[in-house]
Structure 1
Amino acid sequence: MSRAPSTTSLLCLEASARLGSFTAAADELHMSQGAVSRQIQTLEQRLDVPLFTRRRESLVLTDAGRYYLDEVTPLLQRLARATANVMAFKWRGGDLSLSLGASVGAYWLIPRLPAFTQAHGEITLSLSTRVGPADFKAAIDASLEFGDGRRSDVHSDFVLALDLAPYAAPGWIAVHGKRVTNDTPRASLLHHHTLVDGWDHWFRFDGLAGNPGRDGPRFEIMSMALNAAVAGLGVALLPDYMVADHVAAGRLKRLSRRQFRYPQKGYYLVYPSASAGRPALQTFRHWLLQMAAVAQQAVEPGN
């Protein structure tokens, strides 16, 4: 196995590409222009491919250089953060970067986070949202995401099931009735991409013989379907934790005493092997699974 390039050469690559100049990179890195140029030359010789096109007044990455920089930048970011964390917190805490599904993050996790931050002030959380599986090349330590827990390249810890019931605004109910039936207008069934077949499952669960179809409005995330239901656009399948405030304020009503558990999928804490050993992640993981266990005990699907 060939020896990996030095961190210095990678830092020179990143700074030169970002600033477009060996001279500017040298100033930023407190090196001489010649030293930066030699680091890049050594790196190009090791890779046996040019990384820059040298022009009179600037540097431009080649296609190979652009690809290589995209791959090593997250590693440099992790290195910088790990160094800062160890220096500042002596490995007791530091920064933890989490990617969250937008709805479960905003409505389930964030309201519970004050308890975590009060108990673990040594850990600083950085939160971002996205739709779909996280890309761990983007310097993310872990992701709370909806899926089947079968991603082969990462660790997946089951956190929370998704239990759903139909909700609608009082105005919609006054026109269309207190239950979803075979006569409910299909254009009033709100869909979201998290559960493209959610209404199919509900019709089977509730013993409805008709086909729900896909005629109703479609939204990318559950929180958009929630807001559409509040606005009276139709009826949406939603978890209790998202609708509690709206129900208490009279903006939404539940159209069934029953709820069903979405099959074969749920929310998982997903993280790569590179993050698995971090004490900050293990502390958060332990806390998260405890919170989820308490929350799940309060849910009785099918009742």
Structure 2
Amino acid sequence: MNPRRLTPSMSSLLAFEASARTESFTRAAQHLSLTQSAVSRQVQTLEALLGVPLFQRIGRRVVLTDVGRMYLRELTGPLERIRSATLQAIAFQAGGGTLHLSVLPTFGSKWLMPRLPGFYARHPEVLVHIHSRTYLDLDLSGMDAAIVVGDGQWPGAVAYQLVAEEMIPIISPRQARRDKIRTVNELLRYPLLQVVTRPTAWRDWFAKHGYAGDALKLGPQFEMTSHLIQAVSAGMGIGLVPKVLVEDELQAGTLAVPVKVNSDASGNAYYLVVAANRESYPPFAQFRDWLLGVVGDAH
């Protein structure tokens, strides 16, 4: 098939879209700052190119045919992405733009969100779109950057450490007062709640604290750490979580640490990660510099 038939002009597509939204060539012409006859000709050119009618003419109204509705549905997303990309390109002149950031859900809500107003105060011209993800996939997910947990080694990416990960057990204060747990082995009496993405977390933690047995009473799994935290608060069992995610609850007394043990650095940390070829993207560079400044001020 002739490639020309598969790539209509933007003028024809915009005339079609505006006419479909307003059901009127006249109103579409006003929206596009064209004459009514110009819009009508563009739509007719598109219909001739496709070989199908896109509208039914009913008096002064135009109503989409079945094919026209399908065509509008498929075009809407690409046209919006073109407009968004154009706005971003224009915004670059003023130092603005958008950043699509993938963030681990609980870290995003507990750590990043309370700090994000500080970024907007400094860079109101940049929009940060937050996407919750439990995995890192910069190439396939359409993200500019991500905040993830790991060892800092991701091929083809540049990683900036934010917060070291220290794992701690947590329990509801009511259970802590009632049971008065004194040793690590006493935790074996309780359901040990788990996060799906950390299936060996409890076994690793117990091994580091001198227990190498397999008599763990593993409890329900949760996809999100925030749900596990809520389950612990409700008294469903004991959780093992990064300390940075529960500092507010520990300070407020809505969660407790059941047994005092030495600090347990997991060897992992939270990182801001970007594909190597996106490191100089201006909105990312501004966000990175601000975020590393926030981390530096906290130390």
TM-score, normalization by structure 2: 0.70
Instruction: Write the distance in 2 (CA, Å) between the matches of 1:72 and 1:203.
Output: 54
Instruction: Write the distance in 1 (CA, Å) between the matches of 2:16 and 2:207.
Output: 58
Instruction: Write the distance in 1 (CA, Å) between the matches of 2:293 and 2:53.
Output: 54
Once structures 1 and 2 are overlaid, which stretch shifts more, 132-141 or 226-235? 132-141
Instruction: Write the distance in 2 (CA, Å) between the matches of 1:27 and 1:150.
Output: 55
2:167 is the alignment partner of 1:164:
yes
The equivalences for 1:171-210 within 5 A come to: 171-173=174-176, 174-175=178-179, 177-181=181-185, 184-185=188-189, 188-210=191-213
How much has 1:146 moved relative to structure 2?
Answer: 4.0
Instruction: Write the distance in 2 (CA, Å) between the matches of 1:264 and 1:51.
Output: 59
RMSD over equivalenced CA pairs, Å: 4.2
2:274 is the alignment partner of 1:267:
no
User: Helix, strand or coil: the match of 1:269?
Assistant: strand
1:188-208, CA deviations, whole angstroms, 9 ceiling, x for partnerless residues? 211123423322321222232
Instruction: Write the distance in 2 (CA, Å) between the matches of 1:262 and 1:109.
Output: 21
Once structures 1 and 2 are overlaid, which stretch shifts more, 8-17 or 175-184? 8-17
**Number of equivalenced pairs:** 280
Alpha-carbon spacing, 1:16–1:197, altered in 2? closer, same or farther (3 Å):
farther
TM-score, normalization by structure 1: 0.69
Contact 2:161–2:269 at 8 Å: present in 1 too? no
Letter in 1 for 2:282: P
1:150-200, CA deviations, whole angstroms, 9 ceiling, x for partnerless residues? 766x744233343211111222233372444276236x2111234233223
Letter in 2 for 1:235: I
2:294 is the alignment partner of 1:288:
no
User: Helix, strand or coil: the match of 1:105?
Assistant: helix
How much has 1:77 moved relative to structure 2?
Answer: 1.8
How much has 1:21 moved relative to structure 2?
Answer: 6.0
Out of 278, 282, 300, the position equivalent to 2:281 is: 278
1:55-96, CA deviations, whole angstroms, 9 ceiling, x for partnerless residues? 64315469898667656643432223433x24xxx4233554
User: Helix, strand or coil: the match of 2:147?
Assistant: strand
1:196-237, CA deviations, whole angstroms, 9 ceiling, x for partnerless residues? 332232122223223376841222211121222222222112
Letter in 2 for 1:111: P
Out of 66, 74, 84, the position equivalent to 1:77 is: 84
Out of 220, 239, 244, the position equivalent to 1:236 is: 239
2:133 is the alignment partner of 1:131:
yes
How much has 1:291 moved relative to structure 2?
Answer: 3.1
How much has 1:282 moved relative to structure 2?
Answer: 0.7
Alpha-carbon spacing, 1:25–1:212, altered in 2? closer, same or farther (3 Å):
farther
Instruction: Write the distance in 2 (CA, Å) between the matches of 1:190 and 1:146.
Output: 20
2:54 is the alignment partner of 1:34:
no
1:215-272, CA deviations, whole angstroms, 9 ceiling, x for partnerless residues? 4122221112122222222211222222222212222222343343445674333358
Aligned to 1:54: 54
1:117-164, CA deviations, whole angstroms, 9 ceiling, x for partnerless residues? 44x144344443413346788875433234566766x74423334321
Contact 1:20–1:58 at 8 Å: present in 2 too? no
Alpha-carbon spacing, 1:285–1:14, altered in 2? closer, same or farther (3 Å):
farther
Instruction: Write the distance in 1 (CA, Å) between the matches of 2:8 and 2:175.
Output: 64
Alpha-carbon spacing, 1:264–1:15, altered in 2? closer, same or farther (3 Å):
farther
The equivalences for 1:1-20 within 5 A come to: 8=11, 11=14, 19=21
**Which structure: larger Rg?**
2
Contact 2:138–2:274 at 8 Å: present in 1 too? no
Structure 1 gaps, min length 5: 299-303
Alpha-carbon spacing, 1:20–1:248, altered in 2? closer, same or farther (3 Å):
same
Percent identical across equivalent pairs? 26
2:252 is the alignment partner of 1:249:
yes
Alpha-carbon spacing, 1:183–1:292, altered in 2? closer, same or farther (3 Å):
closer
